[in-house]
Chain A
Amino acid sequence: MPRFWRLALLIAVLSSLAQLLLPWWVVVPVAFAVAAGWGATGGRAFLAGLLGVGLSWWLPALWLHTHGAARLADRLATLLPLGGSGWTLALVSGLVAGVVGGLAALSGAWVRQAARPRSPEGTSTL
């Protein structure tokens, strides 16, 4: 599996586990730390953070949407307004968290790059 996907998956797994116990914003330290430890370029770290944290929301949201939350999701999607579609609400939910995760991962990657000015190990393989 390419390194990029492994990074995204790691962020997804760790942020999911952390959110079982802690509030949603725990994805910020998780994505930051994983990206900082991993040493990817900024762009890839951002994408991996977005995908990883996004997945940590998309998967459970979709599962709950199909297991009893659809009526409420559709109604909330009318209120927000998102056209009354709970699917859109699930997509948007994951994006909200994903953007935060992506930014946290980006800052992690850049802080690492600043701390070790030479090009990070393994960059070329990403």
Chain B
Amino acid sequence: MLRFLPGTLVLLVTLTLTWALNTKLGDVPPVASLLSPYRGIWRNAEPEQAPQQTLQLPGLQQPVRVRFDDRRVPHIFAQNEHDLYYAQGYLTARDRLWQMEFMTRVAAGRISEVVGPKALEYDRFQRRMGLPYGAENSLRVMLRNDTTRLVLEAYSQGVNAYISRLSPAEYPFEYKLLDYAPEPWQPLKSALLLKLMAWDLSGRSDDVRLSNILRKYGPAVVRDLFPDYPNRTDAIVPPGTAPDFRPVPVPPTPPAFAAALAGGSWQRQPDPELGSNNFAVAGSRSASGLPLLANDPHLQLNLPSIWYQAQLHAPGVNVYGVTIPGAPTIIIGFNEDAAWGVTNVGGDVLDWYQLRFRDASQREYWHAGRWKPVRRVVERIPVRGQPDRLDTVLYTHHGPIVYDRNETVFNKQTPIRHALRWTAHDGGNEVLAFYRLNRTHSYPEYRQALRTYASPAQNFIFADRRNDITIQPNGRFPLKWPDQGKFILDGTDARHDWQGWIPMDQNPHVRNPARGFVSSANQPSAGLDYPYYLGWDYAPSDRGHRINERLAGMQRATPDSLRQLQNDNLGVNARLMLPWMLRVLAGSLPPDSAPHPTAPGAPEQAAQRVLAAWNYRYEAPAVAASIFELWYTDLVKRLWEDDFGPATGAEMRYPSRARTNQLLLQEAATSAWIDDRTTPRRETVHDLVAASLHFAVDSLTRKFGPLGPKWAWANQKSTDINHLANLAGFGRQDIDCGGSPGSVNATGPRNGPSWRMVVALGPQVKAYGIFPGGQSGNPASAYYDDMIDTWRVGQLDELVFLRAADENHPRLQVAWRLEAPHQ
């Protein structure tokens, strides 16, 4: 029988190889099934589209017509609302199925199911933060309402109609690479996506850091260095706007509470750079005599794009704009009569409660004079290639105890044994708010639409062709005593609980102000004359200040005026600080400061010349912008690191930029904070300024060589748009564009204007928009990234807004008819 050995051996080798090529091994995809031209990635080829097509889709009530323009935006014409949202679900899934499903897994903490145990701690964190819990709460509210139930269910039906048509060969590319299959869509997934936005936009908390600062330095230092947003001159609702309501009583402030030192750190925080701009000018400032409105939300820049454009037309609605794939309706957009947009509100809607447990079993906690039971929820986390993991999360009446014991976790997270209270856990009906906004034609309808919107709180800007312009920081805001939640709260004292909400119609708002424009850029919502406490810390007012400065000078504005403002690269911080920094550098020197880094011929000298000639604009080729950013950032670090940095042993944070600048400009000569307390000698502000310039020039020289065009801001900033799963080759790197996180054109290394829109209201509304990506999520498609270059140079597309399904337009290319199969 020995003669069978060679054949058998080779057969065994063949079968082993076959198995290996057909199986996902660690991060290596199943190579042969991935590369097969029968089922693999080649089948994701995107052929030319036939100009006319009819699709048979079960569940449609009446035929739906869809027209695609040359950016592949679907213009959907349905005869009833069910069919409208069904078609929106179907078409969104067709372009973005993997993305929308993957993001719901990100929200729900279900990534381990796809990639294995390496995502386990991430999944635990999402669940323990209560994202799925909040989504369930919102879903209950949304399904109780007849309108939103219809919208969410029709949308799911449409997504599922698409999924059920797919054979494995037609699954989007990423499913093949990661080796899994799409699962049916449900309304819960839409709710999860909204909660993921809530996390990105309202998931930050400095309570632990502020409590630690309070412990270390006392209340006087907190009052001095961490005041409640002192600069409110550029508040969204301008100071002096008369309130049109009678305020409700605010809960009394309880005695001060000194929280125990909280260990660890709150490390996995959303990026503070996430922000947005919106502004509208009244007819008095526009060439047409009717309002113009602009919006650009700044989010992480990814492919597939975070936004998806669509026009939705049915009896009673004709709206165009963008939505998040997976969420029905339009989130930012316009109709024939009105336009609206959103930016994030930085109010404090996330608080931590220090708990007292009865004993080590942590089954009861002390609150309001008695022991209350802890609710235990078991999370079952499926893990690819391993048995399911069970994880028990403890809930108090405040919310989940995110980590209930000292554990070494992948995402170190604090404060341990504290309960989380967060607006995203409460049920709201955001879908109803957007549904109504889509159909809003006037100011009263707009105010009505905002009433059901809870979280994440947004500055809703609005303009209509009756010449109303208005803005309202909107969402559910807890009715707090002043500074409630600036520090960790006492979980045993009922006076520390959230005790109600600011009445919705008393949220800050301003309508048709005398200055002829409204705007927001994440700065404080209102002046000190607003009767309620919303939070103490907001984004720097730089962008807001610049927007208001330019709008105040705008006359006979056109859509292009607003487009240019969206692309304004001026750095307000550089304009404020650079002249002072150069002056300090040139000032008299203490005798012992040798060797002096700004000696003649030193590279710092050339850098100073470049800086002195700079116009403070973060243009792509600007060398001075690269130097200034490093210089200023390092100066701030040198100022605060010894006092609030990691070396102090406690998790703290730096004072805000506004407070830092005030200290440098006005108090530098006398302030004790200037000195670096880790060195024996006493530093002056000149020492810090000179050393940080030396650091900046030195870093740039190491990175790019001697001072020259290679130091261009575009190179230093290096804007990247990456694939959502960070796949090399599937994004676009080192994009040559200007802007900076502090400019109105807030294009940073990874974040930036994720959708720029300008709407001109009028008898025939005209609108313009662009996002840095494309409509299709298929990397084989020409529409995957076709808008990036237009976006990069700051141009906008005119948006094709149709009044009827059979309207002619030169940019329309493809027409579809969707109908139920014939019986």
**Residue ranges of A at the interface with B (Cβ–Cβ < 8 Å):** 19-20, 23-25, 28, 32, 57, 60-61, 64-65, 67-79, 81, 84, 89, 92-93, 96-97, 99-100, 103-104, 106-115, 117
CB contacts under 8 Å to A, within B709-757, are 727-730
Nearest-CB residue, chain A, relative to B6: A110
- CB-nearest residue of chain B relative to A101? B14
**16 further A-B pairs in the complex, CB-CB below 8 A; given A100-B17, A106-B10:** A24-B39, A25-B18, A25-B32, A32-B11, A60-B37, A61-B42, A64-B37, A64-B45, A71-B780, A71-B784, A72-B45, A89-B35, A92-B35, A97-B35, A103-B13, A109-B7
Q: Does B43 contact A (CB under 8 A)?
A: yes
CB-CB contacts of B767-783 with A at 8 A, as 1s and 0s?
Answer: 00000000000111110
Given contact pairs A24-B39, A96-B31, A111 touches B7 in the complex (Cβ within 8 A): yes
B729 touches A93 (CB 8 A): no
B3 interface contact, C-beta 8 A: yes
- Shortest beta-carbon distance from A9 to chain B in Å: 18
From B18, B39, B727, A100 is in contact (CB under 8 Å) with B18
* Bound: A76/B728 CA distance, A: 8
Q: Is the CB of B4 within 8 A of A77?
A: no
- Measured in the bound complex, the distance between the Cα atoms of B42 and A109 in whole Å is 32
The answer to whether residues A72 and B779 also contact, given A65-B42, A103-B13, A110-B6 and a CB cut-off of 8 A, is yes
Q: Could you say which residues of chain A place their CB within 8 Å of the CB of B779?
A: 71-72, 75
A75–B41 Cα distance when bound, in Å, is 11
A64 to B38, CA, bound (A): 10
Contact check, B45 vs A24: say whether CB atoms are below 8 A apart: no
Q: A117: which B residues are within 8 A, CB to CB?
A: 3
Expressed in whole angstroms, the minimum distance between the Cβ of A8 and any Cβ of chain B is 18
List residues of chain B with CB within 8 A of the CB of A67.
45, 47
User: Using Cβ atoms and an 8 Å threshold, which residues of chain B touch A115?
Assistant: 4
Q: Which residues of B contact A28 (CB under 8 A)?
A: 14-15, 18
Query: Within 8 Å CB of B666, what residues of A?
Result: none
Minimum CB distance partner of B4 in chain A: A114
Residues of A within 8 A of B780 (CB): 68-73
User: 6 nearest interchain CB pairs?
Assistant: A78-B729, A110-B7, A72-B780, A69-B45, A68-B45, A111-B7
Closest Cβ neighbor of A59 among chain B residues: B37
Indicate if the CB atoms of A24 and B38 lie closer than 8 Å. Answer: yes
Residue of B8, B37, B729, B730 with highest tally of chain A CB at under 10 A: B37
Q: What A residues does B36 contact at CB under 8 A?
A: 19, 24, 57, 93, 97
Instruction: From B13, B14, B33, give the contact of A24 (CB < 8 A).
Output: B33
- Nearest CB of chain A from residue B41's CB, rounded to whole Å: 6
Q: Is B222 an interface residue (CB 8 A)?
A: no
CA distance A65 to B37 in the complex (A): 10
Check B173 for interface membership: any CB of A closer than 8 A: yes
A64 touches B728 (CB 8 A): no
A92 to B40, CA, bound (A): 14
**Chain A CB within 8 A of B391 CB:** no
Q: Which of A24, A99, A114 contacts B7 (CB 8 A)?
A: A114
12 A–B contact pairs at CB < 8 A? A28-B14, A32-B14, A64-B37, A65-B45, A68-B780, A81-B729, A89-B35, A100-B18, A103-B13, A104-B11, A113-B3, A115-B4
With an 8 A cutoff between CB atoms, is B44 at the interface?
Answer: yes
User: For chain B residues 760-796, which have a beta carbon within 8 Å of chain A?
Assistant: 778-782, 784
Report the interface size class on chain B.
35 or more
> Within 8 Å of chain A (Cβ to Cβ): is B561?
no
A91, chain B: closest CB distance, angstroms: 11
Name the CB-closest residue of A to B785: A71
Question: Does B44 contact A72, Cβ atoms closer than 8 Å?
Answer: yes
> Which B residues have a C-beta under 8 Å from some C-beta of A?
3-4, 6-8, 10-11, 13-15, 17-18, 21-22, 31-33, 35-48, 173, 727-730, 778-782, 784
Residues on the A chain within 8 Å of B38, using CB: 19-20, 24, 60
A79 touches B45 (CB 8 A): no
Partner of A76, one of B13, B22, B37, B729: B729
Instruction: State the Cβ distance, B494 to closest chain A Cβ, in Å.
Output: 56
Q: How far is the CA of A84 from the CA of B729 in the complex (A)?
A: 8
B404 to chain A, nearest CB (A): 40
Which of B4, B40, B41 has the most A CB atoms < 10 Å from its CB? B41
In the assembled complex, the Cα of A29 lies from the Cα of B692 at a distance in Å of: 70
Residues of B within 8 A of A108 (CB): 7
B7 and A23 contacting across the interface, CB-CB below 8 Å: no
Q: B42 — which chain A residues lie within 8 A by C-beta?
A: 60-61, 64-65, 69, 73, 93
Tell me the smallest distance from the CB of B563 to a CB of chain A, in Å. Answer: 30
For A76, list chain B residues within 8 Å (CB). Answer: 41, 729
Q: Verify B14–A79 contact, CB threshold 8 A.
A: no
Q: Provide the residues of chain B in CB contact with A57, threshold 8 Å.
A: 35-37
In the bound complex, residues from chain A placing their C-beta under 8 Å from that of B14 are 28, 32, 100, 103-104, 107
Alpha-carbon distance between A71 and B44 when the two chains are bound, in angstroms: 10
Whether B39 lies near A23 (C-beta < 8 A) is: yes
- C-alpha gap A20/B167 in the complex (Å): 13
Query: What separation, in Å, do the CA atoms of A100 and B48 have in the docked complex?
Result: 34
Establish whether residues B46 and A68, one from each chain, have CB atoms under 8 Å apart when the complex forms.
yes
- Asked whether, in the complex, the Cβ of B37 is within 8 Å of the Cβ of A96, the reply is no
Of A71, A96, A115, which is in contact with the most chain B CB atoms at under 10 Å from its CB? Answer: A71
Report the Cα distance A111→B374, complex, angstroms. 68
| Alpha-carbon separation in the docked complex, A61 to B39 (Å) | 11
Q: Please measure, in the bound complex, the distance between the C-alpha atom of A65 and the C-alpha atom of B42, giving whole angstroms.
A: 7
CB distance from A16 to the nearest CB of B (A): 9
Least Cβ–Cβ distance between B48 and chain A, in angstroms: 8
Interface contact B18-A114, CB-CB below 8 Å:
no
Alpha-carbon distance A89/B303, docked complex (angstroms) = 22
B residues in contact with A100, CB < 8 Å: 14, 17-18, 21, 32
Q: Which residue of B lies closest to A65 (CB)?
A: B42
B33: chain A residues at CB < 8 Å are: 23-24
Cα–Cα, bound, A57→B8 (Å): 26
A111 x B729 contact (CB < 8 A):
no
Bound Cα distance A78, B33 (Å): 19
**Cα distance A7–B33 in the bound complex, in angstroms:** 25
Residues of B near A111 (CB, < 8 A) are 4, 7-8, 11
Bound Cα distance from A20 to B7, whole angstroms: 28
> B41's contact among A24, A73, A78, A104, by CB below 8 Å, is which?
A73
B350 nearest CB across to chain A (Å): 38
Given contacts A72-B779, A79-B727, contact A103 B4 (CB under 8 A): no
Closest B residue to A110 using CB positions: B7
Please, how many angstroms separate the alpha-carbon atoms of A28 and B21 in the complex? Answer: 12
Complex Cα distance A25/B30, Å? 12
Give CA–CA (A103, B15) in the complex, Å: 9
With both beta carbons as reference points, the residue of chain A lying nearest to B1 in the complex is identified as A114
B44 touches A69 (CB 8 A): yes
Q: Are B3 and A114 in contact (CB under 8 A)?
A: yes
CB-CB under 8 A for A81 and B7, given A25-B18, A72-B44, A100-B32: no
CA A74 to CA B173, docked complex, whole Å: 13
B-chain residues with CB within 8 Å of residue A81 when the two chains form the complex: 728-729
Within the assembled complex, what's the spacing in Å between the Cα atoms of A117 and B4? 10
With both chains docked as a complex, state the minimum distance between the C-beta of A54 and any C-beta of chain B, in angstroms: 11
